Structure 1
Amino acid sequence: MNVSLYDSLDGQVALVTGATRGIGKAIADGLVGHGATVYAGARDPADVAATDRRAIELDVTDDGEIAGAVDRIEAETGRLDVLVNNAGVMDTRESLAEMPTDAIDRTLDTNLWGPMVLTKHALPLLLDRPGGRVVNVSSGLGAITERQSGGMPAYRVSKTGLNGLTRYLDGEYGGDGLLANSVCPGYVRTDMTEGSAPRTPEKGAETPVWLARFRPEAPSGEFWRDREPKPW
């Protein structure tokens, strides 16, 4: 798809959550490669081994850490151009009737509450100039136009909700210059998929990194996979 992109992100600042491994690390790698100053969110900053990015303590289920991370980025750089809400967990893969309540809480807190609250805190910086981008790493398992069966109810509903957040951000703040998009990275080999998936993290990161390069006139409020819009 032909979209207006930044060739370089030099001078721009990005925050990637869950950036210590898997898709998140690959997204951070890609943004660094395009010249961005990248903050790599991690529960334990010591887990961020690469020296070409800034490790930042960020548990997306902790409001205090979320606010502190955004405050640090503002103090150090004065801007935030890209927020990639990548951090996520899988539930116990059972049906809703069998799933422990604490598994539901943990999944919704990480996959939906966290991105929503982090975006809330980040919005003043993202709206400070036209073209701030929010990239929500979602999943085809959360597509509301398809039958959601086969277990994993908390994960599925969390990703459906994340897509709802994308649509809300586009509707509420699109007129102020914000670009918000959801992306399905595909079935990727990560700890979450227990190494059974066919895609590499690098392949899964390609479209999120592409979305992070959108210029202000690029599309917003869409659900993407492999650089093409998909039904919600």
Structure 2
Amino acid sequence: MSSITVGVVTGANKGIGLAIVRKLALQYEGTPGGNPFLIYLTSRDERRGEEALKGITSDAEVKKAKVLVADGGTVDIKHHLLDIADETSIKDFTDFLKKEYSQGINFVINNAGIAMNGFDPDTNVVDNTLKTNYYGTLHASLNFLPLIKPHGRLVNVASMVGGLSKYSSSIQSRFLSAASIADVNSIVEDFRSSVLAGTEQKDGWPRSAYAVSKAGVIGLTRAIAAQEEWKARGILINSCCPGWVRTDMTRGGGVKTPDQGAETPVLLAVGDIGESTGLFWQNERPIRW
């Protein structure tokens, strides 16, 4: 019996996430009778997720390529609920995967995230942004990693706005020297404390919860990749910026299409990247954080 390749894409009902699922399906080099490839398109809303699944399985290019099982190919796509801001939802999905795929899964692309208007802590923008983008990605990563097979991949989608150039030199140094998840957590919580005190700019932070949440994702990805448990199993763990992509999140701005934005995440999940791990990527290459 042939083995099955299993991948997970979070936040995949629209935008870059949906484009990632589509590109994974289109570029898979399986053949009829070969190893099947199953992609989990996850979303926090069941109706939107099912609509996205229906859309992608009826996509003209996907149908023409005949990659789907229904068309004689080896690729199957399924929807599953997952809200990365809810630890119970993460646990329910990982328990499901553990039960269904006792031999493990092959890769996860953590794409889910939010971009809220404003900054005022009284509107909970900071707390909600950090809860989803930073802590949600952290909890999802730590829950998924034990399920990933040796030599599998974990990809965390971050952003260039998480670059360190707009931080004070002391905060830059803290991020770059962070050796553990606890170190990165401490940095993120210090940002939150500065915002609550109204001193974030004086303390050397950019006035953007989204930017700090994505810097946190880059930092935590580096810290997780350095852990001996995952290094010993050969799991490649990287973060990336898909670029400035025209999606709902960018409110129509951007210079890339979602398909172009999917290039780097897909490369990191299934492409040839050697043994690269713990790096931050953009435009299909590692870049300086």
Which one scores higher on RCO, CA 8 angstroms, separation ≥ 6? 1
Structure 1 residues 28, 185: closer, same or farther in 2, change over 3 A? Answer: same
Aligned with 2:215 (options 139, 153, 160): 160
Match of 2:129 in 1: 107
Structure 1 residues 194, 200: closer, same or farther in 2, change over 3 A? Answer: same
Match of 1:16 in 2: 9
Instruction: Letter of the 2:40 partner, please give it.
Output: Y
Structure 1 residues 196, 217: closer, same or farther in 2, change over 3 A? Answer: closer
The CA deviation at 1:12 is: 1.3
The CA deviation at 1:132 is: 1.7
CA distance in 2, matches of 1:99, 1:191: 23
Instruction: Letter of the 1:147 partner, please give it.
Output: K
CA distance in 2, matches of 1:178, 1:199: 29
The CA deviation at 1:76 is: 2.1
Asked if the contact 1:131–1:178 (Cα under 8 Å) also holds between the matched residues in 2, the reply is yes
Aligned with 1:137 (options 142, 146, 157): 157
Asked if the contact 1:183–1:224 (Cα under 8 Å) also holds between the matched residues in 2, the reply is yes
Match of 2:42 in 1: 41
Match of 2:277 in 1: 220
> Which range moved further: 221-230 or 72-81?
72-81
Unaligned stretches of 5+ residues in structure 1: 1-9
Q: Deviations over 1:154-210 (max 9, x none)?
A: 101100110011101210022331111111011001111111212110000011001
Q: Which has the higher helix share?
A: 2
Match of 1:32 in 2: 25
Instruction: Letter of the 1:90 partner, please give it.
Output: A
Instruction: Letter of the 1:39 partner, please give it.
Output: Y
Aligned with 1:64 (options 84, 88, 100): 88
The CA deviation at 1:117 is: 0.6
Asked if the contact 1:16–1:40 (Cα under 8 Å) also holds between the matched residues in 2, the reply is yes
Once the two structures are aligned, what percentage of the paired residues are identical?
39
CA distance in 1, matches of 2:89, 2:77: 19
CA distance in 2, matches of 1:201, 1:91: 20
> Which range moved further: 10-19 or 181-190?
10-19
Higher Rg of the two aligned structures: 2
* Superposition TM-score, scaled by structure 1 size: 0.86
* Superposition TM-score, scaled by structure 2 size: 0.70
Q: How many residue pairs were aligned?
A: 217
Match of 2:79 in 1: 55
Asked if the contact 2:10–2:110 (Cα under 8 Å) also holds between the matched residues in 1, the reply is yes
Aligned with 1:117 (options 139, 143, 165): 139
CA distance in 1, matches of 2:235, 2:13: 27
